[in-house]
Amino acid sequence: MAPGAKVVHFSNEDDDQFIIHDNKHASKRRRVQNGVHEREADQPNDRLESSRPKAPTQKQEKDLQRRKQELFEFRKNLPVFTARDQIIKGVQENETVVIVGETGSGKTTQIPQFLLECGIGSPGRGAIAVTQPRRVAATSLAKRVAEEVGTTLGYRVGYTVRFDDTSSQHTMIKYLTDGMLLRELLSDKLLLRYSVVMLDEAHERTLRTDMLFGMVKEIQQTRKEMVQRGEKNVCELKIVVMSATLDAEKFSEYFNGARIMYVSGRLFPVKVYNTIEPQSDYLDAALVTIFQIHMRRPKGDILVFLTGQEEIETLTALLTEYAGQLPSNVQALLPCPLFAALPPAQQQKVFEPAPHNTRKVVLATNIAETSITISGIRYVIDCGVAKVRGFNAKIGVESLLVHPISKSSARQRMGRAGREAAGFCYRLYTEPSFGSLEENTIPEIKRCNLAAAVLNLKAAGVNDVLHFDYMDRPSRTSLSRALEQLYSLSAIDDKGTLTQEGNQMAEFPLDPVFSKVLIQSQQYECTSEVISIISLLSVDSVFFTPPDKRDNVAEAKKRFVHPDGDHLTLLNVLKSYWEVKGDKEWCRENFINMRNIKIVLDVRNQLIQFCTRMGIVSSTSAGNETDNILKSFLSGFFQNTALLQPDGTYKSVVGGQTISIHPGSSMFGKRVEAIMYNELVFTTKQYVRGVSTVQGAWLPMAAPKYFGNSKLASTTTT
């Protein structure tokens, strides 16, 4: 099949009246970098040593002030700048304000500065916290705003993310991840160090932002009552919710009718086309559309939204093949894959400008919808679906399935074409299909396992999690399941109260199951190994798999295999890495993902620090007693076990479902009496990953409270 043999027909393709989004001010303005460009922050040398930030020296001061002046020229042209006085007044007069502003309005960089300048944030009253769902955003925003304020990073302006804290007692504007603020809540239950909490990107509705909504709302009320009672050293807490979409009423309603303010953005008009007919094969439709654009439309790069790595690799291969057949008088076509598992060096390629006379085609997952911004994109192709993580609380199984996106997600994808100039968006579905999409994506809190979130709430003092003030309430089944799981781990007692062990578990930055394993490892005298393995399991993979080298990767993996399964195999990888002292060449030869190994080592160091603080000896080693390591894991993962059936399949002990070992596991194809697994996710089958051999006899020992022998007996018979 030659590209162009088939044609995909789009509505209104030559009708300039059909413009969905039109900001008439936008095209007149010049694009200004507002410092939220993730690429810069993704450089490996991004990490700062946590030195004690000091006031700048006289010489530094001079440079800082010069830079500040330069930046002011940009700042005063930002749309939000004209609304400075109204915003200050709005926050002064209201305890909560909802601010709606599109990308490029400058709200995230400027509003904290306004609040600092007018004294709402001050050493006396408290600092300004600005939360972000992502680390890179928090760090790059802080760097930019420090420059704008004219201070060294970490002095008046800083950030706090996991493994990296540049804030100090002098910090008045602090950018932090929402997860980090949740952790601060454990030790500062009323967030007394802050006078303002700004929750940015609220429309994304991440699990953590949703938890913060409820907690800051309660804290605001408590602090107000304290002030009314005349308590000293307390001031009221201001809440600023910032959202990019127009669902502000929902936020306002939740926050007792909070004042809504709108800030204009800086997006250019994007013309939207829908297909006239539904497309049975969106991958094929995308391929044809790419060439239709390439042959007929003016310069500008193309961004294609697809669902996953496999699709992206398929389409990359097809594009490369057809691009080679283009006539010599047509400009070249350069496919650039982009997904999270791609090694950083290859991710970097999407940011490089296309060579002369070449059009770049970025084939991306949802990573390009929020996390990564690519310049030069004029055309977006949207297949209308995405892989979505789900959780069935009734049977306790996670899933990862392709699902139609929401209208707001489709608009977000569309907007990616209008960041620098007017653009075009080709939707590979009909207009009625668009009309039938859900308005908003279902918030994460309604579709994930809540065990960790519930434990976190309880540790922060919210005991009645069923009646907590959720903006979107998770189902009762989902909350009950979380409570049951915590009970089975002895994190809470039968009244739902946090136990001493549960309190300890909440301290660790881990899923409660892992915290349990870590604590239990003391009895099995293998804490050192357990910490390493937990760290290794906290990244997607310590290997990376280039699509053309799958066999070589499989070969490399074999070198580390431990007969008992993935847990000890992973440990072998880390041991080998240490033996060669992280030699780069060795990593390359063995397809070791250095970025992820770095994260593993960071997590490991952090866990050791937490252990030390809590009086757990982290150096205890199992030596050759590797069974003890597996027994430790079983003490947390006893529910994640399956038994071999006479027909050679595995059946889960809880739920009795037939499960398959993921092909990426070292246990793939092996038959043993019983297995324990790290996770079970339904994709095309019920796949388990992170699998090790266990003995059936260990099960009742691992969880005497949970296992009656009857339960075991009932699943072993077929």
**Among residues 23 and 441, whose Cβ is nearest to DNA?**
441
> At closest approach, how far in Å is the CB of 456 from DNA?
8
- 221 burial level (CB within 10 Å; 0-12, 13-18, 19+): middle
CB atoms within 10 A of CB 240: 28
C-alpha closest to that of 212 among 171, 157, 254? 254
Find the helix or strand (DSSP H, E) in which 681 lies: strand 674-682
**Among residues 58 and 187, whose Cβ is nearest to DNA?**
187
Helix (H, G, I), strand (E, B) or coil at 52: coil
197/216 Cα distance (integer angstroms): 8
99/259 Cα distance (integer angstroms): 8
C-alpha closest to that of 505 among 488, 484, 490, 494? 490
- Residues 6+ away with beta carbon under 8 Å from 57: none
> At closest approach, how far in Å is the CB of 240 from DNA?
20
Find the helix or strand (DSSP H, E) in which 688 lies: strand 686-694
The three state secondary structure string of 615-651 is: CCCCCCCCCCCHHHHHHHHHHHHCCCEEEECCCCCEE
Query: In this structure, are residues 566 and 541 in contact, taking their beta carbons and an 8 Å threshold?
Result: no
**Among residues 140 and 626, whose Cβ is nearest to DNA?**
140
> At closest approach, how far in Å is the CB of 218 from DNA?
21
**Among residues 149 and 510, whose Cβ is nearest to DNA?**
510
C-alpha closest to that of 199 among 183, 186, 214, 187? 214
**Among residues 225 and 310, whose Cβ is nearest to DNA?**
310
Q: How far is CA 524 from CA 18, 518, 623, in A?
A: 68, 10, 11
The residue to which tokens 């679906």 are assigned: 385
513/702 Cα distance (integer angstroms): 13
- Residue 401 backbone dihedrals phi, psi, to 5 degrees: -130, 155
C-alpha closest to that of 17 among 265, 268, 264, 272? 272
- Residues 6+ away with beta carbon under 8 Å from 140: 35, 36, 37, 38, 40, 41
> At closest approach, how far in Å is the CB of 443 from DNA?
12
**Among residues 559 and 685, whose Cβ is nearest to DNA?**
685
**Among residues 309 and 430, whose Cβ is nearest to DNA?**
309
> At closest approach, how far in Å is the CB of 664 from DNA?
4
**Angle (nearest 5°) at CA 317 between 311 and 321:** 145
> At closest approach, how far in Å is the CB of 589 from DNA?
19
Query: What are 14's two structure tokens?
Result: 């030559």
Query: In this structure, are residues 254 and 220 in contact, taking their beta carbons and an 8 Å threshold?
Result: no
**Among residues 472 and 525, whose Cβ is nearest to DNA?**
472
**Among residues 273 and 339, whose Cβ is nearest to DNA?**
339
**Among residues 341 and 466, whose Cβ is nearest to DNA?**
341
If you count them, how many residues does the chain have? 718
CB atoms within 10 A of CB 313: 16
CA–centroid distance for 17 within its chain: 38
DSSP state of 506: H
> At closest approach, how far in Å is the CB of 308 from DNA?
3
- Residues 6+ away with beta carbon under 8 Å from 627: none
> At closest approach, how far in Å is the CB of 400 from DNA?
5
**Among residues 135 and 481, whose Cβ is nearest to DNA?**
135
Q: Which spans of this chain sit near DNA (rule: CB under 7 A)?
A: 133-136, 161-162, 177, 179-180, 183, 206, 208, 307-310, 339-341, 365-367, 371, 386-389, 400, 452, 509-511, 538, 540, 545, 550, 662-664, 668-669, 679, 681, 683-685, 687, 689
Strand partners, 644: 650
**Among residues 79 and 512, whose Cβ is nearest to DNA?**
512
**Among residues 57 and 605, whose Cβ is nearest to DNA?**
605
Strand partners, 400: 389
> At closest approach, how far in Å is the CB of 234 from DNA?
25
The residue to which tokens 């399949």 are assigned: 649
**Among residues 54 and 550, whose Cβ is nearest to DNA?**
550
> At closest approach, how far in Å is the CB of 261 from DNA?
27
The residue to which tokens 């620098």 are assigned: 420
> At closest approach, how far in Å is the CB of 162 from DNA?
3
503/522 Cα distance (integer angstroms): 17
**Among residues 105 and 538, whose Cβ is nearest to DNA?**
538
Find the helix or strand (DSSP H, E) in which 274 lies: strand 270-274
> At closest approach, how far in Å is the CB of 299 from DNA?
28
> At closest approach, how far in Å is the CB of 514 from DNA?
8
> At closest approach, how far in Å is the CB of 565 from DNA?
14
> At closest approach, how far in Å is the CB of 164 from DNA?
8
> At closest approach, how far in Å is the CB of 660 from DNA?
7
Find the helix or strand (DSSP H, E) in which 682 lies: strand 674-682
The residue to which tokens 């006396």 are assigned: 124
> At closest approach, how far in Å is the CB of 713 from DNA?
26
**Among residues 310 and 589, whose Cβ is nearest to DNA?**
310
**Among residues 386 and 703, whose Cβ is nearest to DNA?**
386
Q: Tell me the angle at which helices 594-614 and 500-507 cross, rounded to the nearest 10 degrees.
A: 140
Find the helix or strand (DSSP H, E) in which 238 lies: strand 238-243
C-alpha closest to that of 540 among 424, 417, 689, 402? 689
